[in-house]
Structures are given as C-alpha cells and as structure tokens.
C-alpha cells in the first residue's frame, strides 16, 4: 500500500497550512489584505500542482505540470516585491515627515519662541503646543494666520502678531509656513491619530535645533512649570468669603499682555493670594482677549477649571469654592504665562 501513496499529499498539507497563515496575516493587517489572500491562493495552487505532478506517470505530462509549477512558484515573488516597495515608500514618507517637523522646529525656535515659548507653551503670545482652540482651526486658517499675522483689534494699523509670509512682507517662504503648520498640527494627538502620523509631537525636536547656550537655558526655563512665589509676594485676603480674580490688560502679574488681578487686594496688583477654606473665587475677564482658567502648575491638575472661554470684556465668570486647605496654582489655558497662586488656609 505504501507505494500507492502520492508524495504530493505532503505538499498539499503544507500548501493549505501556508494558505491559512497568509490569509490570517491578511485579515489581521500584518500584510496588506490583497497580498495576504493572493499569497494564500498561490500557495494552494502550487501545492495542488505538486500533487498532480506526482500523480502523473507519463513523462510528457509530468514535464508540462513541472513547467506550470515553476511559473506559478515564480509568481510568489510578485507580491513579495509589492510588499517591499510599499514598505520602502512608507519609510521614505515617514523620513520626509520627520524632516518637515525638524525644519518647523528650527523655524519656530528662530522666529516664534520669543513670544510663544520654546515649547510653544505660550508667553506674550498664546499657547500653540496642543491648545484646544488652535487644534480646532483648519489647516488653511492656521497658514493664513501665520502668513498674514493678527491685526490688533484696538488699532488696526498695528499687529498683535506680525505677518510672517514673504507675500505680506515677512521673512518666511510658503514652504517655511507649511513646515510651521505641520509642527503645530503635530502637537494635536487627535490630528496625529486621524492622519496616521505616529506619536511624535514636533515640539520635541526644538531642543535639538538650539546651539546658543542662552537659548538652551531659556528652553529649560520655558519647560518647567513655575514654583510657588515667595510668601512676601502674597496678599492676605483671609478675612473675605468671596474674591474676584479678573483678567486685565497690561497687568504686572504676568509676562503676557494680560494677567490675573485679585480685585480685593488694595496695595498693587497681585495674582497670589491667601484665603480661608470655604472662600469662593470668581474668575472674570476685564481684558481685551478671551481667557479660561485651570488649576495646576502649567498643566491642569484637575482640582478646578473650565476649558470654556470667558470672552473678552464680559460679565461671564467661572466660580469655584475652595473648601480644602492647600496650594492652588492656576493659569489661563490659552495664555499659560498668566499664572497665579491661591494658598487656602484652615
């Protein structure tokens, strides 16, 4: 009986196993689905031909099937070449994208960091590194704002931010603007996810572009959150049950164009106050720009805050009652240089 056994059976078993493997790779996305299924079909056909080859006794027939087998086996190479090509293209695209971000980071350090901070966390200009309201802008709007600048709403002959594109008398080319837009976009995790851009926030390349030691020192300074101001800087408002903390233009409490000012403090402007547990803090906005407020030292710590914007010069407020004694630094999410500190005592 052993002699009647077709050795091609072994090939069929192997072919089916390979076909299942390729189909699985296709389904799970390890291989492109079309390539996975293509390879599976080829594996089945080749193993079937091997089986037929062994089942023929006639030499001419055997030669015919042998030739066919050879041709189909060679077909295996085609999907492999396609995979290779696709991978090469993907690698090139990702290297290209990385270069774009690095160029954006270098331009940002040179032209934008003085107002927006080396990490894009905001100074005189707003936060650009993963700022909700900037993330909501379309790419076109973002390029337009950077190209043409932002006119000062109080005096249209002046700019809150200058125009950057050559077309508007600035120093940057359209390519430069595109690099900067890509950099800012890359700081939005959701944008990265929807566009399959991996996990790199381009602002992480900024440090690598700096050579000047004073710039590097400034970069480190921009990166760390502020520490608690000296006690002498605090105003004791612990006799009050309600304190109004309003954003004001040209406040001395901030390096930005706007700062928080405790309205009940009588000697000079301050955003650093001591209050009793149970005091209600009402955050308002008397300034010419929109603001919001979060507790935390540069990043929200979740104790209080509201991403909703309090419009410029409005009567809208954000109110919180601080019942637990402790330290409550706070800042504006759009202009993180607008900081303040509330110490709550029992």
Taking the complex as a whole, the smallest distance from the CB of residue 123 to ligand HEC amounts, in Å, to: 8
Taking the complex as a whole, the smallest distance from the CB of residue 193 to ligand HEC amounts, in Å, to: 21
Task: Report the alpha-carbon angle 274-280-284, nearest 5.
Answer: 95
Is residue 203 involved in binding ligand HEC (CB under 6 A)? Answer: no
Please choose, from the candidates 214, 223, 247, the residue with its C-alpha nearest in 3D space to the C-alpha of residue 313.
Answer: 247
Residue 325 in tokens: 């004694």
Q: Which stretch binds ligand HEC (CB under 6 A): 120-128, 202-210, 243-251, 296-304?
A: 120-128
Identified binder of ligand HEC from the candidate list 69, 142, 275, 309, rule CB under 6 A: 142
Identified binder of ligand HEC from the candidate list 105, 180, 310, 320, rule CB under 6 A: 180
Distance between CA atoms of residues 343 and 340, nearest Å? 10
The length of the chain in residues reads 346
Residue 186 in tokens: 């890359």
Q: Which CB, 284 or 290, lies closer to ligand HEC?
A: 290
Residue 81 in tokens: 């070449």
Q: Which CB, 141 or 220, lies closer to ligand HEC?
A: 141
Site for ligand HEC, residues 90 to 119, rule: CB under 6 A: 111-112, 114-116
Is residue 128 involved in binding ligand HEC (CB under 6 A)? Answer: yes
Measured from the Cβ of residue 324, the count of other Cβ atoms closer than 10 Å reads: 10
Size of residue set near ligand HEC by CB under 6 A: 20
Task: Report the alpha-carbon angle 290-295-299, nearest 5.
Answer: 90
Is residue 139 involved in binding ligand HEC (CB under 6 A)? Answer: no
Please choose, from the candidates 242, 231, 286, 236, the residue with its C-alpha nearest in 3D space to the C-alpha of residue 266.
Answer: 236
Residues 145-164 vs ligand HEC: string with x where CB under 6 A? xx---x---------xx--x
In contact, 27 and 20? CB cutoff 8 Å = no
Taking the complex as a whole, the smallest distance from the CB of residue 340 to ligand HEC amounts, in Å, to: 20
Identified binder of ligand HEC from the candidate list 11, 237, 289, 309, rule CB under 6 A: 289
Is residue 124 involved in binding ligand HEC (CB under 6 A)? Answer: yes
Residue 333 in tokens: 């999410």
Measure CA 280 to chain center.
35
* Residue whose token pair is 């006119």: 151
Q: Which CB, 146 or 197, lies closer to ligand HEC?
A: 146
Distance between CA atoms of residues 286 and 313, nearest Å? 4
Give me the residues that bind ligand HEC (CB under 6 A), please.
111-112, 114-116, 124-126, 128, 133-134, 142, 145-146, 150, 160-161, 164, 180, 289
């Amino acid at each position: 009986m052993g002699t009647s056994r077709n050795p091609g059976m072994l090939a069929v078993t192997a072919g089916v196993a390979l076909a299942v493997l390729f189909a699985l790779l296709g389904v799970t996305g390890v291989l492109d689905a079309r390539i996975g299924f293509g390879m599976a079909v080829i594996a089945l056909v080749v193993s079937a031909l091997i089986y037929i080859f062994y089942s023929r006794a006639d030499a001419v027939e055997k030669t015919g099937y042998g030739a066919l087998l050879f041709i189909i086996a060679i077909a295996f190479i085609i999907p492999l070449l396609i995979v290779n090509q696709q991978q090469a293209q993907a690698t090139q695209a990702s290297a290209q994208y990385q270069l774009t971000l690095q160029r954006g980071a270098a331009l940002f350090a040179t032209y934008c960091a003085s107002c927006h901070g080396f990490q894009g966390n905001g100074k005189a200009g707003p936060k650009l590194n993963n700022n909700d309201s900037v993330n909501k802008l379309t790419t076109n709007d973002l390029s337009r704002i950077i190209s043409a600048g932002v006119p000062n709403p109080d005096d249209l002959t002046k700019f809150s931010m200058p125009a950057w594109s050559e077309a508007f008398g600035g120093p940057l080319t359209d390519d430069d603007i595109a690099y900067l837009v890509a950099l800012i976009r890359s700081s939005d995790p959701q944008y990265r996810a929807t566009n399959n851009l991996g996990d790199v926030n381009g602002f992480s390349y900024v440090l690598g572009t700096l050579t000047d030691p004073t710039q590097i020192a400034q970069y480190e300074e921009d990166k760390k959150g502020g520490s608690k101001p000296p006690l002498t800087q605090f105003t004791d408002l612990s006799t009050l049950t309600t304190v109004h903390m309003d954003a004001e233009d040209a406040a001395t409490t901030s390096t930005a164009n706007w700062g928080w000012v405790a309205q009940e403090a009588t000697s000079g402007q301050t955003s650093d106050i001591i209050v009793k547990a149970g005091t209600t803090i009402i955050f308002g906005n008397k300034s010419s720009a929109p603001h919001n407020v979060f507790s935390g030292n540069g990043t929200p710590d979740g104790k209080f805050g509201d991403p909703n914007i309090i419009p410029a010069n409005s009567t809208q407020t954000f109110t919180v009652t601080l019942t637990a004694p402790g330290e409550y630094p706070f800042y504006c999410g759009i202009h993180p240089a607008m900081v303040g500190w509330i110490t709550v005592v029992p």
